[in-house]
């Protein structure tokens, strides 16, 4: 099957390419003015990085940097190590960063590229479903702090994104399933065809080589592109649409779960729980029909994702939710749905509704 090119228009347009064996495209995307390329890769993905480095060394001086695995890469200390390495290797504004890994790697690598010399080119090669459909696209980069998830970061759009589906072959099943959390989220916020595909296909058939997984990935990328081209910096959309905040559906509780569990819950799993939770809140606020809440439970559960949570107290999660970037002052703001594809912001939800919704997903309120 041929490659698919999904174009991201804007002031600095770029393409997201989905296909197989895409590393050979890198020199064409990076361009001729680049002399040095830093390859930032997930520390357990050396074999995948080797194939990319082999292509790059034909054209550039390559600095390969293995990062701590997963979320442990998203720290100020790791970013500082990368800055030191770029400095020692003499990276200038005409040089570039290439990331190879999951969303944690593209977030950290994107942040390093955003901050080095106030911004150098970055091309992402996401190696997880979640990285392909979400983290590598749209220019959000960031690291965590003790106070919470992604609290330091920058908007820095990539020069290109290469989603090589062959790289998913080695991805553990639970990581693939985690990525489906963001896919199903896209179904609820904007593309009901995603929900239909999930509801009508055997979840076991969603393998890296399957046509249906590819369609789910491409549809989700298109949802993300459509949102970010309208509101790149999350300032709000037109005509009352929440804009980029729509992509944060389910994330207020999700990030609180990740942080209070010391990142032992995968991001996509936390998003699944967070979406069911916020649907419960919306139902209690009289905004969402209970049948749509049940559709949340069944769609996420069907692909193997959790829909309940009880490992933290409501008070701890509530405190963590106040660090959400959508909050203003001491007021929590939630992205909720009035129906599939009908998002809106609910500012200052009643604390009783927040507690009752936690109880409805299995927690002790
Ligand atoms: N910037 C954004 O817009 C955005 C969007 C969504 C999520 N995120 C961030 O992305 C992160 C989650 O990303 P993730 O789910 O990809 O997790 P991850 O990056 O932590 O990777 C999960 C695990 O899979 C391994 N792995 C990755 N690719 C592999 C492969 N092909 N074969 C074998 N193992 C592989 C990794 O080494 C890691 O151990 C979170 O930090 C989240 O906040 C960012
Ligand atoms: O791209 C966005 O915008 C998103 O909100 C996508 C989310 O899936 C992603 O997890 C993002 O990193 C969350 O951003 P944050 O601003 O809440 O940290
Ligand atoms: Zn997310």
24 burial via Cβ count (<10 Å: 0-12, 13-18, 19+): exposed
Give the chain's end-to-end CA distance (angstroms, integer).
Answer: 51
Where in the chain is CATH 1.20.1090.10? 173-360
**Ligand 1 atom having least distance to the Cα of 167:** 31
CATH class of 173-360: mainly alpha
Question: Cβ of 169: how many Cβ atoms within 10 Å?
Answer: 9
Q: Distance from the CA of 90 to the center of ligand 3, in angstroms?
A: 34
Where in the chain is CATH 3.40.50.1970? 4-170
Q: How far apart are CA 350 and CA 231, in angstroms?
A: 28
Kindly state if the Cβ of 307 falls inside 6 Å of ligand 1: no
Q: Distance from the CA of 32 to the center of ligand 3, in angstroms?
A: 34
Q: How far apart are CA 234 and CA 245, in angstroms?
A: 6
Q: How far apart are CA 323 and CA 91, in angstroms?
A: 35
4-170: CATH, from 3.40.50.300, 3.40.50.1970, 3.40.80.10, 3.40.50.970: 3.40.50.1970
Q: How far apart are CA 274 and CA 254, in angstroms?
A: 5
Note the ipTM here: 0.99
pLDDT 10s digits, 6-56: 999 999 999 999 999 999 999 999 998 999 999 999 999 999 999 999 999
172 burial via Cβ count (<10 Å: 0-12, 13-18, 19+): exposed
Q: How far apart are CA 64 and CA 84, in angstroms?
A: 13
CB 342 within 8 A of CB 289: no
344: which 2 tokens? 């809106």
pLDDT in single tens digits along all 365 residues of the chain: 899 999 999 999 999 999 999 999 999 999 989 999 999 999 999 999 999 999 999 999 999 999 999 999 999 999 999 999 999 999 999 999 999 999 999 999 999 999 999 999 999 999 999 999 999 999 999 999 999 999 999 999 999 999 999 999 999 999 999 999 999 999 999 999 999 999 999 999 999 999 999 999 999 999 999 999 999 999 999 888 899 999 999 999 999 999 999 999 999 999 999 999 999 999 999 999 999 999 999 999 999 999 999 999 999 999 999 999 999 999 999 999 999 999 999 999 999 999 999 999 999 87
**Ligand 1 atom having least distance to the Cα of 168:** 31
pLDDT 10s digits, 146-201: 999 999 999 999 999 999 999 999 999 999 999 999 999 999 999 999 999 999 99
């Amino acid at each position: 099957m041929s490659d698919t090119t999904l174009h991201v228009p804007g002031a600095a347009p770029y393409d997201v390419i989905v296909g197989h064996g895409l590393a050979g495209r890198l020199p064409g995307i990076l361009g001729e003015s680049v002399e040095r390329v830093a390859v930032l890769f997930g520390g357990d993905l050396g074999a995948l990085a080797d194939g990319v480095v082999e292509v790059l060394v034909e054209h550039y001086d390559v600095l390969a940097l293995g990062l701590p695995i997963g979320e442990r890469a998203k720290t100020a200390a790791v970013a500082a190590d990368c800055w030191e390495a770029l400095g020692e290797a003499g990276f200038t504004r005409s040089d570039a960063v290439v990331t190879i890994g999951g969303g944690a790697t593209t977030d950290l690598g994107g942040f390093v590229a955003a901050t080095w010399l106030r911004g150098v080119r970055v091309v992402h090669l996401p190696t997880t479903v979640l990285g392909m459909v979400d983290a590598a696209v749209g220019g959000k980069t960031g690291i965590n702090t003790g106070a919470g998830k992604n609290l330091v970061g920058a908007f820095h759009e990539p020069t290109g994104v290469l989603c090589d589906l062959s790289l998913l072959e080695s991805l553990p099943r639970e990581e693939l399933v985690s990525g489906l959390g963001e896919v199903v989220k896209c179904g609820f916020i904007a593309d009901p065809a995603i929900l239909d595909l999930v509801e009508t296909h055997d979840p076991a058939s969603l393998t890296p080589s399957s046509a249906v997984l590819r369609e789910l990935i491409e549809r989700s990328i298109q949802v993300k592109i459509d949102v970010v081209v309208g509101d790149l910096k999350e300032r709000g959309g037109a005509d009352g649409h929440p804009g980029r905040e729509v992509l944060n559906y389910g994330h207020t509780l999700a990030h609180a779960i990740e942080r209070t569990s010391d990142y032992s819950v995968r991001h996509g799993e936390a998003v699944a729980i967070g979406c069911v939770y916020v649907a419960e809140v919306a139902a209690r606020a009289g905004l969402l029909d209970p049948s749509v809440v049940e559709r949340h439970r069944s769609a996420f559960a069907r692909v193997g994702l959790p829909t309940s949570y009880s490992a933290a107290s409501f008070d701890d999660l509530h405190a963590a939710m106040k660090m959400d970037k959508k909050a203003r002052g001491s007021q929590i703001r939630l992205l909720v749905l009035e129906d599939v594809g009908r998002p809106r912001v609910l500012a200052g939800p009643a604390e009783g509704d927040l507690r009752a919704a936690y109880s409805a997903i299995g927690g002790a309120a």
